[in-house]
Amino acid sequence: MNDLAASIRTIPDYPKPGILFRDITTLLGDARAFRRAVDELVQPWAGTKVDKVAGVEARGFILGGAVAHQLSAGFVPVRKKGKLPHVTVSIAYSLEYGLDEMEMHEDAVAANERVILVDDLIATGGTAEGAVKLLRKLGADVVAACFVIDLPDLGGSRKLQALGVPVRSLIAFEGH
Domains in the chain and their CATH numbers? 48-172 (3.40.50.2020)
Using one digit for the tens of pLDDT, what is the confidence trace for 117-131? 999 999 999 999 999
For residue 100, what pLDDT is reported?
Answer: 87
**pLDDT band of 97, cuts 50, 70, 90:** low
Q: Which residues are catalytic?
A: 59, 96
**pLDDT greater at residue 94 or residue 37:** 37
Mean pLDDT (whole number) for 82-111: 90
pTM to 2 decimal places: 0.94
pLDDT tops 70 at residue 96: no
115 neighbors 135 (Cβ within 8 angstroms): yes
Q: How far apart (Å, rounded) are the C-alpha atoms in residues 123 and 148? A: 11
The residue among 129, 19, 117 whose CA lies nearest residue 60 is: 117
Between helix 31-42 and helix 59-71 the angle, nearest 10°, is 60
Using one digit for the tens of pLDDT, what is the confidence trace for 10-29? 999 998 898 899 999 999 99
Average pLDDT, the chain: 94
Using one digit for the tens of pLDDT, what is the confidence trace for 31-66? 999 999 999 999 999 999 999 999 999 999 999 999
Going by the DSSP 8-state scheme, the letter that residue 164 receives in this structure is T
89 neighbors 103 (Cβ within 8 angstroms): yes
Calculate what percentage of the chain has a pLDDT beyond 70.
96
Contacts of 47 (CB under 8 A, 6+ apart): none
Q: How far apart (Å, rounded) are the C-alpha atoms in residues 147 and 105? A: 23
Burial letters 51-79, b for 16+ CB under 10 A, else e: bbbbbbeebbbbbbbbbbebbebebbbbb
For residue 3, what pLDDT is reported?
Answer: 85
Q: How far apart (Å, rounded) are the C-alpha atoms in residues 17 and 75? A: 36
Calculate what percentage of the chain has a pLDDT beyond 90.
89
